[in-house]
Structure 1
């Protein structure tokens, strides 16, 4: 019997198709927004999806910044809000404690804000005009861990960002690649993950927020601890951890830093527990190969599916019910 988390994971292609039906409307809404400088604020999966969009915008010369919403509220000056033409408040539920607090504190800034949410009927959404609420159209998500809403939030933000830039990304092809990732066999990968209490996730570029979300998913779904490093950051000290024989997962995808990542894999080749998720033809023995051919701003998204499936398998193997919170909850009501 499929867990409710796995059911959500398997419905991601359908959710993406539902979103793309609304692409024209989202593009028209996006073009009404000023965007020389933008700020993304969110928590958890919403924050990581925003990081993804931030990388894309900054690579095209747009001044985009991303902050955890609670940290911004407590440690950033209100004066900083004046620097940004548009402020994206990203909340899948639309009901998180941090979002409510922000709207209470900064009610005078509401005309500079938009809400990106899977719940356009939330109490906080009612504060905004319809033209400033961007639904992600993910449908009902059963499990505590985000899956459909995470992917749909990334794509919603990319639709907005690519409309500003004037670039057409192949979202329809992305769905094909997500479907392909859902069919991949990962049993050996899961078995190796199960042998280790901790793992190290290494990535560059767009894959970094994917691995940050994978870290959250492994914690929420399978109660597994992991740590995330950028490829360059891993070389600046943390490579010393290799003497402890950890399990390392490296994302190696075609793009600007592909060669650098292959060099890193070469330097790690003498260690036993190194896995690679890649769109290249098996650069190391322990590789999970996804389809090649997506443009770099989209190619990291199917990687998330691999880690979602692994988290579900790990939870089952450890005796946890995937997607059922034992301490935390789906909607966080306390900061």
Structure 2
């Protein structure tokens, strides 16, 4: 059956996350080294799915540690052949394969420019891991489906654990995480998959920690279903793109409990005014407000919620792809390791 690999790897996520939670030693050691270096700024480098994990890390670092944090433009170091001056900077390269040449080269240059370089990968013995001073293995296990699923959620958890250890905060908020992800694996997505089976364009949106979830959901739908999916921060959606939304362009809104969800409320009101076809991905108290919904567990920590939020959206992408006659395990024109320069 098509999509068998993707479905299996989606289902492996509770086990993969449990494995990472059971191995705190490496995270604690890396956090101690970062604290000793006392970076003044953090730069994150990534591509594709890993770029969304890096964006999640940006929110974590800025809110938890109060450090300025940016997303690096690797082409500055590769295509434009510039050598950075990065004394006092922590450079974090996120890549499930660790094999993309532009990430490897830019990380080499960052290290030569004085940065402390950290790789976050699912392949410890990778080119990226070899050029980085420090490496964090996300322990997701082999991932064979081209569409990344368990490596994404394991990357999120690895980054959350690292930031918590760096800030010398306890990990108790993650005590229920595996159960929340297991619950998200049972969320009903079939009705939404059937409703949106033949759409050729849609929008995903959210705010705060959940914004990377909206971006990753759009990528999964594009690469498996071959539809046009635009991801926007709710704030950016109001700054122009709202005009393109109508009844023929569904909007999938990820609405967390907490400040991010509250910040999204004016956006949802504006979408309703336009008569948009809205699907809420949210806990029961929020999701009950719309007939088209994917229900998430209630009471999740807002920082950790993205790890569970993306799971039913991965399942939705898989179900929609199969319903459209595509094999999400082998998206056309894509390979598991993408070579960018």
User: Same fold per TM (> 0.5)?
Assistant: yes
Report the more deviating stretch, 158-167 or 107-116.
Answer: 107-116
The alignment status of 1:78 with 2:78, answered yes or no, reads no
> Normalization by structure 2: what TM-score?
0.90
Does the residue aligned with 1:137 lie in a helix, a strand or coil? Answer: coil
Look up the match of 1:50.
Answer: 54
The superposition leaves residues 40-91 of structure 1 with CA deviations (integer Å, 9 ceiling, x where unpaired) of 1111111110110110111131122123534664469533533x43111222
Superimposed CA distance per residue, residues 251-290 of structure 1 (whole angstroms, 9 cap, x where no aligned partner): 1111114233234323433525211111242122222221
Q: Does 1:289 align with 2:295?
A: yes
Query: 1:269 and 2:272 equivalent?
Result: yes
> What residue in structure 2 maps to residue 115 of structure 1?
119
Alpha-carbon contact 2:247-2:277 (below 8 Å) kept: no
Are 1:332 and 2:338 an aligned pair? yes
Residue 21 of structure 1 aligns with which residue? 22
Structure 2: how far apart are the matches of 1:168 and 1:74?
42
Q: Which blocks of at least 5 consecutive residues in structure 1 are unaligned?
A: none
Q: Alpha-carbon deviations, 1:218-267, whole Å to 9, x = none?
A: 12222222001111111222221234631011111111142332343234
Structure 1 position 15, deviation (Å)? 0.6
Q: What is the distance in 1 between the residues matched to 2:340 and 2:27?
A: 31
Q: Does 1:183 align with 2:189?
A: no
- Are 1:255 and 2:261 matched, yes or no? no
Deviates more, 1:18-27 or 1:195-204: 18-27
For the residues of structure 2 that align with 1:192 and 1:65, how far apart are their CA atoms? 38
Distance 1:99 1:235 in 2: 33
Query: Retained in 2: the 8 A contact 1:138–1:152?
Result: yes
Which residue is equivalent to 1:12?
13
The CA deviation string for residues 155-189 of structure 1, in whole angstroms up to 9 with x for no partner, is 11111111122333422311111110100111111
TM-superposed CA distance for 1:110, in Å, is: 7.4
User: Contact 1:94–1:124 (CA<8 Å) still a contact in 2?
Assistant: yes
Structure 2 counterparts to residues 93-172 of structure 1, below 5 A:
93-103=97-107, 105=109, 108-109=112-113, 112-128=116-132, 132-169=134-171, 170-172=173-175
Q: Using the TM superposition, give the Cα deviation of residue 10 of structure 1 relative to its aligned residue in structure 2, in angstroms.
A: 0.6
With structure 1 as the length reference, what TM-score do the two structures score?
A: 0.91
Counterparts of 2:336 and 2:228 in 1: how far apart (Å)? Answer: 19
2:248 alignment partner, one of 245, 249, 253? 245
Please tell me the root mean square deviation across aligned C-alpha atoms, in Å.
2.2
Q: 1:308 maps to which residue?
A: 314
Q: Is the 8 A contact 2:188 2:295 kept in 1?
A: no
Change (3 A) 1:135 1:180: same
More displaced 10-residue stretch of structure 1: 173-182 or 294-303:
294-303
Assess if the C-alpha contact under 8 Å between 1:220 and 1:323 holds in 2.
Answer: no
Is 1:199 matched up with 2:202? yes
- Asked if 1:299 is matched to 2:305, the reply is yes
**Inter-partner Cα distance in structure 2 for 1:109 and 1:187:** 50
Q: Is the 1:43–1:70 Cα contact (8 Å) retained in structure 2?
A: no
CA–CA separation in structure 2 for the residues paired with 1:308 and 1:31? 34
Match of 1:210 in 2: 213
CA displacement at 1:30 relative to structure 2: 1.3
For residues 115 and 231 of structure 2, what CA distance do their matches in structure 1 show? 36
Match of 2:72 in 1: 67
